[in-house]
Amino acid sequence: MNKTERLRKFQAVDIYPVITEAHCAGRDSEVVCGQVLSGGARIVQLREKIKPSDQLLDLARAYQRLCSEAGALFIVNDDLDLALSSGADGVHLGQGDMPVAVARSRTMEILVGVSTHNEEEAQRARADGADYINIGPIFPTQTKATAPEFLGPERIPAIAAAADLPFTVMGGIKEGNLDQVLAQGARRIAMVTGITQQEDVEGTVRKLRERINQYAAIGS
């Protein structure tokens, strides 16, 4: 798949599951990956920081295979080398990770996303060659020990406008507060525990996608 095709697929993303085995309610994360794809997710991000490198590569390749079979994009969190070696469609970088410009200098074919928390970071992401940004954390979150202060959904439009790139939103988003971010124009919703800790992962993904696309239809 070339960069143009990956960008086209990203435009169609609605729910954006981020999977960490520690947040999978005791289930194997590869199984959870299959469940979110069965629910219709068009993208999956693997976020694992504690597995040995050989196990992580095997896991990333398994995710890549599952996503490819489902026609979905596969994104690796933080690790460009792992993204490239596993055949991933993209890498997602935080503010403390490899600079976007360095990642872009090493590859022009995969997507590079970056987490942003304010307008300045969003503008810099665009200037440095990012393909999309994530805005967050929107609400308080427990999935990252060093997460910055939450923004609130009302900050979404200004940060999105500063980058003028496709964007996702993340951080403490659950079914109960989803409408608040949709009301601010977000249409690509990244979630961790709101999906991966649910008893019915596939059904949860289907329900969330339906709600997002209802808003999209009203907006169009």
> Which residue among 42, 47, 187, 188 is the active-site one?
47
> Which residue among 3, 65, 104, 144 is the active-site one?
144
Q: Is 29 a catalytic residue?
A: no
Are the beta carbons of 208 and 191 closer than 8 angstroms?
A: yes
Strands 43-46 and 73-77: parallel
* Closest alpha carbon to 93 in 128, 56, 64: 128
Q: Is 61 a catalytic residue?
A: no
Q: What does the block give as tokens for 66?
A: 């599952």
Burial class from Cβ neighbours inside 10 Å (0-12, 13-18, 19+) for residue 140 reads: exposed
Alpha-carbon distance of 104 to 129, in angstroms, equals 6
Q: Is 124 a catalytic residue?
A: no
Q: Where are the alpha helices (DSSP H) in the chain?
A: 3-11, 29-38, 53-70, 80-86, 100-106, 119-127, 156-163, 178-182, 193-196, 201-219
> Which residue among 29, 42, 86, 115 is the active-site one?
115
Which residues are catalytic, by number? Answer: 47, 115, 144
